[in-house]
Amino acid sequence: MGTAPTVARRDRLGLGTSPLRPDGGPKVRGEFAFSSDLWAEGALWGRVLRSPHASARILRIDTAAARALKGVHAVLTALDVPGSELYGLEFQDQPVFASDVVRYMGEPVAAVAADHPEIARRALELIEVEYEPTAPLVDPEAAITAPPIHPEGNVVRHIRLRHGEDAEPGLPGGDGLVSVEGTYEVGMQDQAFMGPESGLAIPDDGGGVDLYVSTQWLHVDRDQVAACLALPPEKVRLHLAGVGGAFGAREDVSLQVHICLLALSTRRPVKVVYSREESFFGHVHRHPARMWYRHSADPQGRLVKVEARIVLDGGAYSSSSSAVVSNAAAFSSGPYRVPNACVDAYAVRTNNPPCGAMRGFGAVQVCTAYEAQMDKLATALDLDPVELRLRNALASGDRLITGQVINGTAPVAEVIRRCAAAPLPEARPHPPAMALPGGAGRTADPARVRRGVGFAVGFKNLMYSEGFDDSSSARCRIEGGAITVTCAAAEVGQGFVTLVHQIAEDVFGTDGVVLAPAETATVGSAGSTSASRQTWMSGGAVDAACRAARDALCGRVAARHGLSPEMVSMRDGRVVSLGREVDLTLDEALAGDVVDESVTFRHAPTVPLDDKGQGDAHVSFAFAAHRAVVDVDVDLGLVRVVEIATAQDVGRVLHPLQVVGQIEGGIAQGVGLAVMEEILVTDGLVRNPSFTDYLIPTALDMPVVEIAGLVEEPEPGAPFGAKGVGEPPTISSTAAVAAAVRAATGLELPRVPIRPEHIALAAQ
């Protein structure tokens, strides 16, 4: 499969083909309604006041002057929260508004609603908050034992993973063993989706509220909002508005509670749109990590033991830290057979910005470390790095360091081989400056540019783990001439809406179904659009609901015509019998009746990790390999990522074009983390909350992506045999780029993002 496999088509529609996105037309016309595009007659503009301090006591809040400003309709603080003062994804530990202390820079303190966004801004300036700043706790290592900054303590979770016969700290015994050691760091990455947080809340006459919002998980937002508003869940109706990207940043509640409070308090519709700066403060980020590792292997390069200590900085509140650190521990040794492991992984609270979900969470951080270790080990053993990885590659039937046996597919060796086999790109003979490190800045001296190649492999769980009751609901209703599918899965750009039509095509022989808007009132939870789970979970739910509806309809027709049920099926959207004696339109087949089938789909159950970090905690795993080619200006330390080749374990390709889109997009984020993306925090204060200084790759920074292989080994138990494809591209692409820069420079470079000074000042 090449890099430009296909063009979307209108003539072939089912699974395995690339039909057009149903929302493509509105999106290219600028007519697609994102959450920031909504308006209601009489709506007010809401804004939130945030703490300028990372750690402070609040001595006094005076809102009188703000309330007195003409055009201001509400000024709310913690005193105005009728229900739960706290919310949170896993644990309710985060205040709707800070009242006594603030624990991070940007923590909400008050909210206003006004006639015009500028009046709202001026109102915020008139709110007097008297802070008494306190020394922030910003060192995650120190946080483990420091006095608690939160009633729940500083250690959100410590996973003490002990696996194998030699599971305690210390070098393994044995002849000729080789050990390598290193300490690695990962900076704080931001999801930096393009559409900032926004929403529109409309109060109803009965004390309830409709919230139109961009989110990844409608129902869990609904439950948190309802609890804070002290309303029953059915009085809070969430509707998915157009989502401008997510990548994990919309999994936690941001503006949802504030905007509903403002709407209920003013009895007016309220619109909130975060600025880019506020967006940086309004959502969680990828956990920064510090990781110590020691790998031991026998002379043939077989891993004997991995020891690791991993500290993730979760910032002020827990968000999804517990799941992130669980992943970090479980995947800490990479997709390799490791008989003995001793891993201590911590997620801690500090006064830094809260961290939570971002594409590949937990797995991305540790991959940068274990893959650097594998390269060190290859050097120590004088083995080819690819060969070393092949010698240790996990396969189906192998045991992870959590003790779990992989029952599904694990084509690790295959993705390694196919990625490594891709031909290397040739160096341009006379590259223009724009194609060299430094790009438009014309800094490169071709004689001082070194090329490097790096290889990395990564993996991650698909879907939710550790006993979470992970499910998705879907409903299929056939009425009149129409088939309507309802599912609350959040379309965030990935193309779930396309998949629904493909499934319908396969089930009904027509893609002419209506996909109802995603909302909370008429259908159950679809779970989150995260963890590479929606194709499996909501795809599975939609497929099951469609099949149930089809079978019900066909069964009724069969009964009516005295046929056995298996004699009747659907073709081209019509209900037909085997010999076409019966051939009915939907309307005719229904005969005035209605078919309405709801299905809740669940994956195989999992269990929590035990006190030794052992247990069948995961359902399925996906693997990918990346090979990066970089050019490095060794004097200036500037890096040009030239090409990324990749092979990925996908189970089955359902939409070739969308798979490529996920791979290229995920690689872009991996490249960004490798060489430029970091939220800089000093003493708890964010120094670069803007697109001027938080840099993400532009079109000139994106390497050529060579898709060397999409490995299709259908996953048992997966609807369609398909694995989620969203996260693996991000997991090992960062590690591969870092490895390539190390190869080009000969430097250790234990931290990502690699900054120019790490190279330029070390090389001398």
Partner 1 sequence: MAVFVPTSLEELLTARAERPGLDLVAGGTDLVVEVNFGRHRLEDVASLSRVPELGGWRREGPAGPGGHLVLGSGLTYTEMLDPTLAELLPSLAQAARTVGSPQIRNAGTLGGNLGTASPAGDTLPVLAALEAEVLLGSAAGTRLVPLGEFVTGPKRTALAPDEVILAARVPVARGHQEFLKVGTRNAMVIAVCSVALVLDEQARQVRVGLGSVGPVPIRALEAERFAAEVVDWSTGRFSGGEADLRRFGELVGAAARPIDDHRSIASYRRRAVEVCARRALERTMSRQAA
Partner 2 sequence: MSLATPSPSEQGAYRLEVNGRGHDVVDSWAGESLLYVLRNRLGYLGPKNACEQGECGSCSVLLDGRLVCACLVLAASAAGQEIVTVEGLADSEEELSDVQQAFIDHGAVQCGFCTPGLIVAVHDLLGRLPDPTELEVREAISGNLCRCTGYGRIFEAVEAVRRSRLEASS
- Shortest reach from residue 698's CB to partner 2, in Å: 4
Q: Is 129 in the site for partner 1 (CB under 8 A)?
A: no
Q: Which of 442, 560, 561, 571 binds partner 1 (CB under 8 A)?
A: 442
Spell out, one character per residue from 264 to 303, where the chain touches partner 2: x when CB under 8 A holds, - when not.
Answer: -----x---x-xx---------------------------
Q: Is 714 in the site for partner 2 (CB under 8 A)?
A: no
Q: How far apart, in whole angstroms, are the C-alpha atoms of residue 57 and residue 107?
A: 12
Residue 58 has phi, psi (to 5 degrees) of -95, 120
Q: Is 683 in the site for partner 1 (CB under 8 A)?
A: no
- Shortest reach from residue 633's CB to partner 1, in Å: 9
| Residue 142 CA: distances (Å) to CA of 145, 148, 311, 349, 402 | 6, 11, 10, 10, 28
Amino acid found at 675? V
Q: Which of 688, 712, 713, 750 binds partner 1 (CB under 8 A)?
A: 688
Q: How far apart, in whole angstroms, are the C-alpha atoms of residue 332 and residue 321?
A: 16
Partner touching 637 among partner 2, partner 1, none, CB below 5 to 8 Å by kind: partner 1
Of the two residues 273 and 383, which places its CB atom closer to partner 2 in the complex?
273
Q: How far apart, in whole angstroms, are the C-alpha atoms of residue 396 and residue 412?
A: 9
Cβ–Cβ under 8 Å, residues 625 and 646: yes
Cβ–Cβ under 8 Å, residues 35 and 200: yes
Q: Which residue has the tokens 């490097």?
A: 452
Radius of gyration, CA atoms only, the chain: 27
Q: Which of 247, 317, 370, 464 binds partner 2 (CB under 8 A)?
A: 247
Cβ–Cβ under 8 Å, residues 189 and 673: yes
Q: Is 458 in the site for partner 1 (CB under 8 A)?
A: no
Q: Is 443 in the site for partner 2 (CB under 8 A)?
A: no
- Shortest reach from residue 314's CB to partner 2, in Å: 24
Q: Which of 64, 79, 118, 445 binds partner 2 (CB under 8 A)?
A: 118
Amino acid found at 554? C
- Shortest reach from residue 116's CB to partner 1, in Å: 13
Q: Is 637 in the site for partner 1 (CB under 8 A)?
A: yes
Q: Which of 121, 160, 451, 612 binds partner 1 (CB under 8 A)?
A: 121
Of the two residues 19 and 354, which places its CB atom closer to partner 2 in the complex?
19
List the 513-515 sheet strands across, edge first: 513-515, 482-487, 471-479, 595-602
Q: Is the dihedral angle over the CA atoms 120, 121, 122, 128 positive or is it negative?
A: positive
Q: Is 447 in the site for partner 2 (CB under 8 A)?
A: no
Q: How far apart, in whole angstroms, are the C-alpha atoms of residue 112 and residue 120?
A: 6
Q: How far apart, in whole angstroms, are the C-alpha atoms of residue 258 and residue 181?
A: 48
554 CB contacts (<8 Å, ≥6 apart)? 565, 568, 569, 570, 575
Q: Is 242 in the site for partner 2 (CB under 8 A)?
A: yes
Q: How far apart, in whole angstroms, are the C-alpha atoms of residue 285 and residue 248?
A: 8
DSSP string, 50-87: E-S-SSEEEEEEE-HHHHHSTTEEEEE-GGG--S-SEE
Q: Is 115 in the site for partner 1 (CB under 8 A)?
A: no
Q: Which of 82, 700, 716, 746 binds partner 1 (CB under 8 A)?
A: 700
Cβ–Cβ under 8 Å, residues 521 and 237: yes
User: What is the SS3 string spanning 192-219?
Assistant: CCCCCCEEEEEECCCCCEEEEECCCCHH
- Shortest reach from residue 374's CB to partner 2, in Å: 26
**3 state DSSP class of 309:** strand
Of the two residues 357 and 589, which places its CB atom closer to partner 2 in the complex?
357
Q: Is 692 in the site for partner 2 (CB under 8 A)?
A: yes
Q: Is 133 in the site for partner 2 (CB under 8 A)?
A: no
- Shortest reach from residue 344's CB to partner 2, in Å: 34
Partner touching 195 among partner 2, partner 1, none, CB below 5 to 8 Å by kind: partner 2
Of the two residues 47 and 271, which places its CB atom closer to partner 1 in the complex?
47
- Shortest reach from residue 261's CB to partner 2, in Å: 19
C-beta neighbour count of 220 within 10 angstroms: 19
Q: How far apart, in whole angstroms, are the C-alpha atoms of residue 644 and residue 707?
A: 8
Of the two residues 66 and 291, which places its CB atom closer to partner 1 in the complex?
66
How many residues appear in the chain? 764
Q: Is 37 in the site for partner 2 (CB under 8 A)?
A: yes
Of the two residues 636 and 705, which places its CB atom closer to partner 2 in the complex?
705
Q: Is 592 in the site for partner 2 (CB under 8 A)?
A: no
Partner touching 680 among partner 2, partner 1, none, CB below 5 to 8 Å by kind: partner 1
117 CB contacts (<8 Å, ≥6 apart)? 45, 47, 273
Of the two residues 37 and 223, which places its CB atom closer to partner 2 in the complex?
37
Of 192, 222, 241, 41, which is closest to residue 692 (Cα–Cα)? 192
Partner touching 452 among partner 2, partner 1, none, CB below 5 to 8 Å by kind: none
Residues 724-743 close enough to bind partner 2 by CB under 8 A: none
- Shortest reach from residue 491's CB to partner 2, in Å: 9
Helical (H) or strand (E) element with 279? helix 276-282
Burial class (CB in 10 A: 0-12, 13-18, 19+), 234: exposed
Q: Which of 31, 181, 387, 757 binds partner 1 (CB under 8 A)?
A: 757
Amino acid found at 736? A
- Shortest reach from residue 69's CB to partner 1, in Å: 15
- Shortest reach from residue 685's CB to partner 2, in Å: 20
**3 state DSSP class of 701:** coil
Q: Which of 180, 192, 211, 253 binds partner 2 (CB under 8 A)?
A: 192
Q: Is 39 in the site for partner 2 (CB under 8 A)?
A: yes
Q: Is 67 in the site for partner 1 (CB under 8 A)?
A: no
> Which residue stretch of 304-312, 571-579, 687-695, 733-741 sits at the interface with partner 1 (rule: CB under 8 A)?
687-695
- Contact residues toward partner 1 (CB under 8 A) are 121, 275, 277, 434, 437-443, 445, 635-638, 640, 675-676, 680, 687-688, 692-693, 695, 697-701, 755-757, 760-761, 764
